[in-house]
Structure 1
Amino acid sequence: MAELELDARQVRNFRLQAHHLDAFYGRDDALAAVGACGMQNSPPGAWEAALFNRVPACGAADRDRMLLEERTLLQAWSFRGAPMVFPTADGAAFLSALAAEGDEPWIYTRGIGLALDFLGVGFDELLALLEQVMPRLDGRAVVGKAALDQTLAAWMEPLLPARKRSLWNEPSMYGSPDKQTVGGAAVSFLLRPCSFKGLVVFGAREGTSPAFSSFRTWLGRPLEPDPEAARKLVRKFLHCYGPTAPGGLAAWLGCSGAQARRLWRAASDEMEPVRFLGKKAYVLSADRERLMASEPPQRELLLLAAHDPYLDQRDRAVLQPDKALQRRIWRTVANPGAIVRRGKVAGTWTAKKKGAGLEVRADWWDNAVGEQQVRALAEQYAAFRGLELAGFERG
């Protein structure tokens, strides 16, 4: 079979469909929409905005039902060490598939080196001690991330050699030394591996603070092993972000190249090569026909929040080929939201709450985008937030 060559338009159309952004979906599609590739919840509320853009009929009561009552959705630290919301049934793909093997470094733990050097202990030794105390989370909830770090650090302290305990309780070298100890900082990094092992999850928020408990307490069972977890994870990535390559997987997960290549091999028999953007890339063989016949989306214009999964594409030229414009979309800090027209980023927007209203400032460079269209989407977004659109400005 000849190697398929794909253009950016085909790929954008396909990815919109894969991300459930090509049309309006109903409440029955909510789990599939969240589970396509998971939804980041940092900053808090990011996943809710992402779901709103896919299933606008799914309101706060529906989200709470799935996440807090039925618990068919779960929040835990996952890709890149970020809080992610995903279907509980896919827990192994979003958690245990991320566990490091052999000499692979664990995701989101590179920064722990300062604490390890100060303490004079090894990573594996400290992780083993934390795993010993994690069962004490069973049957309880700890409110606040700082409180979780310090609670676990206090539980670990008696297990440390006596000569290390004073160092463990020294002020953190990572910032906020008045609130965090070296031990608390080390725990903060080690919580990601614990999450991947199914030892800690997010529970219900209490006020503005998240609460944390054990996987077993929250769901009534441990995280079940799944030998197909790596295959399922890579399949999700390829379906939502293909055509792509192992380097794209590494960037998406925040893992090492070695781990990405190992995971990639788990699903290699489901892939085939194509030509895209002048390079060899891979797609799921099951997606080949739909990629070739991908149709324009029913929804022409989208107002996506900054951390929407669709904007997490690593080949950014697909979304916006102009590098100067790319720098306006993806910033070092505080990314704006994106105005997306037919899959391509056509502008940016920001919103600021003011009293009971929301002020939106938008700017776009595609002349096919109409101001009334953008304003209407801003009004819908404000309503989703439970606010009135108090101001709309282009600039």
Structure 2
Amino acid sequence: MTKTAGITWGAASARRLDRQFLAMSARTGTPVADVAGAMLGVHAQVLSAAELSVGLRTDGVTRADVRGALWPTGSPSAPPPPSLVKTHGPRGTVHLLPARDLPMWCAALPAIADGPGSFPSGVRLTREQAEQVVSAIGDALDGTFLTIDELGEEVVARTGPWAGDLVMPAFQTMWPRWRQALHRAGQSGALSFGPNRGRKVTYTRPPHFAPMRSEEALRLLVRRYLHAYGPATPQHLARWLAAPPGWARALYDQLAAAGEIEPVDFEGTPAWVVAGDTVFPGGSEQEDLLRGVRLLPYFDAYLIAAQPRELLFPGAAYRRALAGGQAGNFPVLLVDGVAAGVWHQRRRGRRTTVTVEPLGRLTSRQRRELAAQAARVGEVLEAEAELVVGEVTVGAHA
């Protein structure tokens, strides 16, 4: 295939940081849904990490703004619709997704080829049973908030006793069969997370929408992925979506044949960008976009999606900031566009201690920028931050 002139790691990183609001924060007043959309979803298994991912990219935003976008307050009889939805996104993991993007996500994600099932045949839901469960979940959650136990009762009542069979080993107990379809219900638009009821998680149904056609949604998702994180290979897309590599290659072939994506040379390797999206920063512009100190929380979208991983985590960073090659298990100190340390924050009441472990010596300018980033962590979490530069003693995902 014909490739455009070679694109360097520095040029790709500078453009990614710019498009991710990491080179320059989004201005005050930018809707948090716009930031989440630019990231292609915000990993939210730990909600405080998601709040930091959005807040560290946006001037003036705090965790209250993120929660207000998820669960807006208003008239009890007619609450305003959310602009963000907390649900199951890429890889089946919990994400914050813009509500306006649900027609794409909820058509594309169920269309991704599945890998081999993890449950034996006597435990696994059949395709028909899974469809029944997803439909029952959507019906049960429409216009209300239910805990997992309350939702289970409704699902079993709408499907049959088989859905409630305790067949799934989980955390030294057994879960009912229907819970296998929980993430699929989220990816299909039948379920999202509501605000906690005390210490209990609740679920609701997101705003109703008309999904796109699955083929159209997949093509749009790939173009948006390449806009945010390109150049990227089919293998990069497969890793990001936890999809079979062969399936991703076939999808790239379809888009290439339709003229929607085009090949480039990326650090000597064939990769792809959106057709016509071949302008990358260079020279002083590239240096300005890369320069700076940034703190990225657990499973930040940039850490997960930016590839090749060995260039994002060079040398000692690959051993210190990754867990068996998996990104996201440690919050990362980014210096001039590459991982250069890890960090951890521990909150006590209205104060939080931000401990940062650099893997190299920081200049005076970088130390000042680090102090500003730590202070911003406190602002997002609505706490007063204290910066400590030293060893991070907690393990991965602590």
TM-score exceeds 0.5: yes
2:19 and 2:149 mapped to 1: Cα distance? Answer: 37
Contact 1:346–1:366, Cα closer than 8 Å, also in 2: yes
Deviations 1:292-331 (A, max 9, x none): 6863328611111121111112411231222x42131122
Contact 2:3–2:264, Cα closer than 8 Å, also in 1: no
1:276 and 1:301 mapped to 2: Cα distance? Answer: 25
**Other structure's SS at 1:235 match:** helix
Corresponding residue number in structure 1 for 2:76? none
Q: How has the CA–CA distance of structure 1 residues 195 and 173 changed in structure 2, closer, same or farther, with 3 Å as cutoff? A: same
- In structure 2, stretches of 5+ residues that fail to align are 73-80, 392-398
Q: In structure 1, give the amino acid aligned to 2:57.
A: R
Is 1:95 matched up with 2:106? yes
Q: How has the CA–CA distance of structure 1 residues 360 and 2 changed in structure 2, closer, same or farther, with 3 Å as cutoff? A: closer
Q: How has the CA–CA distance of structure 1 residues 261 and 105 changed in structure 2, closer, same or farther, with 3 Å as cutoff? A: same
Is 1:393 matched up with 2:384? no
Corresponding residue number in structure 2 for 1:331? 323
**Other structure's SS at 2:276 match:** helix
1:99 and 1:248 mapped to 2: Cα distance? Answer: 19
Query: TM-score normalized by structure 2?
Result: 0.83
For residue 31 of structure 1, the aligned residue among 30, 33, 44 is 33
Contact 1:41–1:84, Cα closer than 8 Å, also in 2: yes
2:270 and 2:196 mapped to 1: Cα distance? Answer: 45
Corresponding residue number in structure 2 for 1:243? 231
Is 1:202 matched up with 2:201? no
Contact 1:198–1:223, Cα closer than 8 Å, also in 2: no
Is 1:62 matched up with 2:65? yes
Cα drift, residue 271 of structure 1 = 1.5
For residue 302 of structure 1, the aligned residue among 286, 289, 294 is 294
**Other structure's SS at 1:210 match:** strand
Identity of aligned residues (%): 22
Is 1:321 matched up with 2:325? no
Contact 1:16–1:22, Cα closer than 8 Å, also in 2: yes
Deviations 1:201-255 (A, max 9, x none): 222333343321223xxx2x24433463112211121112211111111110112
Is 1:53 matched up with 2:42? no
Contact 2:56–2:380, Cα closer than 8 Å, also in 1: no
2:3 and 2:109 mapped to 1: Cα distance? Answer: 34
Corresponding residue number in structure 2 for 1:255? 243
1:9 and 1:205 mapped to 2: Cα distance? Answer: 42
Contact 2:20–2:228, Cα closer than 8 Å, also in 1: yes
1:21 and 1:41 mapped to 2: Cα distance? Answer: 19
Deviations 1:8-66 (A, max 9, x none): 11111011012111112122253322102111111122221111111031234432343
In the alignment of these two chains, the number of paired residues is 369
Corresponding residue number in structure 2 for 1:125? 128
Q: In structure 2, give the amino acid aligned to 1:47.
A: A
**What is the root-mean-square deviation of aligned Cα atoms in Å?**
2.8
1:255 and 1:146 mapped to 2: Cα distance? Answer: 31
Q: How has the CA–CA distance of structure 1 residues 262 and 142 changed in structure 2, closer, same or farther, with 3 Å as cutoff? A: farther
For residue 367 of structure 1, the aligned residue among 361, 370, 378 is 361
- In structure 1, stretches of 5+ residues that fail to align are none
Corresponding residue number in structure 2 for 1:356? 350
Contact 1:20–1:54, Cα closer than 8 Å, also in 2: yes
More helix by share: 1
Cα drift, residue 154 of structure 1 = 5.6
1:128 and 1:261 mapped to 2: Cα distance? Answer: 28
**Other structure's SS at 2:14 match:** helix
Is 1:342 matched up with 2:344? no
1:169 and 1:306 mapped to 2: Cα distance? Answer: 35
Corresponding residue number in structure 1 for 2:181? 190
Q: How has the CA–CA distance of structure 1 residues 118 and 92 changed in structure 2, closer, same or farther, with 3 Å as cutoff? A: same
Q: In structure 2, give the amino acid aligned to 1:213.
A: T
Cα drift, residue 391 of structure 1 = 5.6
Cα drift, residue 132 of structure 1 = 4.6
Contact 2:142–2:205, Cα closer than 8 Å, also in 1: yes
Contact 1:200–1:213, Cα closer than 8 Å, also in 2: yes
Q: How has the CA–CA distance of structure 1 residues 246 and 304 changed in structure 2, closer, same or farther, with 3 Å as cutoff? A: same
Corresponding residue number in structure 2 for 1:174? 170
Query: TM-score normalized by structure 1?
Result: 0.83
